[in-house]
């Protein structure tokens, strides 16, 4: 069986200070069939100029430039422009580890029917700490696999997972979602296709406060809409609806934590009350009740 082909899509928006690291980590892969596709999403810094200079210097990658449309739109364009069947979305501030594409190919060879491979990665923190994150064996039962993902028994990091293009035949990323846009896509694939994991580490994922996951303004814009998108807009099977109320509570409590960390006390109160309606025991646990009471006083 021939080696599977990979397209690594790097979305770049104002990442001139680090996109070269991500790019070179891909072009240095020793693998016979891959494309490195960088999409500049209307950067206002020197990202585009830097990428143009790297191409002139001989770096082998495809470059697309577009008006700013957001991460979801970039990923959708990457799907459309990809030359190979397997796609990896590597953030511009992360990097692939040597041998990453070979590790993905080895995993795929064990389960050719799979539509997604979830690999291990190293989380790199601002203080220099590095933590290896290794996925468990993904259940063959799609109901269990989806439940385990939605309730955080395992996580999926862009850059450390590869998805076959058939997984996108009935779903795309939602451009109006500027945060958590990947969760409905991952949920859809887990519910409909075989998914496997590998303990091989394939990426270094850099954690920093500027991450979109920590953007409180964007979190408010998405808010509880994420629940609706997952359970109504991502083509989940009917059996998945049994998970909805529990997920609503989990999502509300996640927003409680994010808002409290950002001192958005009105947000804490709003989301805690929503969690209380569906998950009273969890919402009334000491750590969440304490945040709620402090926020009531400080808002």
Q: Please report the pLDDT score of residue 219 as a whole number.
A: 78
- 282 exposure class (CB count in 10 Å sphere: 0-12, 13-18, 19+): middle
Q: Read off φ and ψ for residue 211, nearest 5 degrees.
A: -55, 145
For 16, 51, 142, 228, the CA distances from 47, given in Å and listed in that order, are 4, 6, 41, 35
For the stretch 144-189, pLDDT in tens is: 999 999 999 999 999 999 999 999 999 999 999 888 999 999 999 9
CA-angle at 116, arms to 183 and 68, nearest 5°? 50
Dig out the tokens for 109 from the structure: 């060879």
Domain range annotation of the chain: 6-214, 244-298
For the stretch 110-152, pLDDT in tens is: 999 999 999 999 999 999 999 999 999 999 999 999 999 999 9
The domain 6-214: what is its CATH number?
3.90.550.10
CA-angle at 165, arms to 163 and 167, nearest 5°? 70
Q: How far is it, in rounded angstroms, from Cα 168 to Cα 9?
A: 15
3-state secondary structure of 37: strand
**Binning pLDDT at 50, 70 and 90, where does residue 1 land?**
low
Number of H helices, E strands in the chain: 12, 9
CA dihedral 248→250→255→257, nearest 10 degrees, is: 160
Q: Which residues pair with 66 in a beta bridge?
A: 41
pTM of structure: 0.94
Q: How far is it, in rounded angstroms, from Cα 217 to Cα 132?
A: 30
For the stretch 189-223, pLDDT in tens is: 999 999 999 999 999 999 976 665 556 777 778 89
For the stretch 244-276, pLDDT in tens is: 999 999 999 999 999 999 899 999 999 999 999
**Closest C-alpha among 205, 89, 195, 67 to residue 138:** 195
Region 38-48: what's the mean pLDDT? 97
């Amino acid at each position: 069986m021939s080696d599977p082909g990979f397209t690594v899509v790097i979305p770049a928006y104002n990442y001139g200070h680090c996109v070269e690291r991500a790019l070179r980590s891909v072009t240095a892969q020793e693998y016979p069939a891959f494309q490195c596709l960088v999409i500049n999403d209307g950067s206002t810094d020197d990202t585009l100029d830097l990428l143009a200079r790297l191409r002139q210097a001989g770096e082998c990658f495809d470059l697309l430039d577009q008006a700013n449309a957001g991460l979801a739109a970039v990923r959708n364009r990457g799907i459309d422009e990809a030359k190979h069947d397997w796609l990896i979305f590597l953030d511009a501030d992360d990097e692939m580890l040597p041998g990453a594409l070979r590790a993905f190919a080895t995993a795929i060879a064990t389960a050719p029917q799979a539509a997604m491979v979830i690999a291990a990665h190293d989380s790199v923190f601002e203080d220099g700490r590095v933590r290896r994150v290794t996925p468990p064996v993904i259940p063959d039962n799609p109901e269990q696999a989806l439940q385990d993902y939605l309730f955080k028994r395992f996580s999926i990091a862009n850059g450390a997972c590869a998805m076959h293009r058939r997984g996108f035949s009935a779903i795309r990323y939602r451009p109006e979602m500027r945060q958590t846009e990947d969760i409905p896509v991952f949920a859809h694939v887990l519910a409909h296709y075989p998914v496997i994991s590998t303990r091989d580490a394939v990426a270094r994922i850099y954690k920093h406060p500027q991450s979109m996951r920590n953007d409180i303004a964007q979190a408010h814009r998405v808010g509880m809409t994420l629940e609706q998108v997952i359970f109504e807009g991502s083509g989940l099977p009917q059996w998945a609806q049994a998970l909805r109320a529990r997920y609503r509570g989990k999502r509300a409590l996640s927003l409680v934590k994010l808002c409290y960390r950002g001192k958005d006390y009105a947000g804490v109160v709003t989301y805690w009350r929503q969690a209380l309606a569906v998950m009273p025991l969890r919402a009334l646990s000491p750590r969440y009740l304490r945040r709620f009471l402090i926020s009531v006083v400080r808002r």
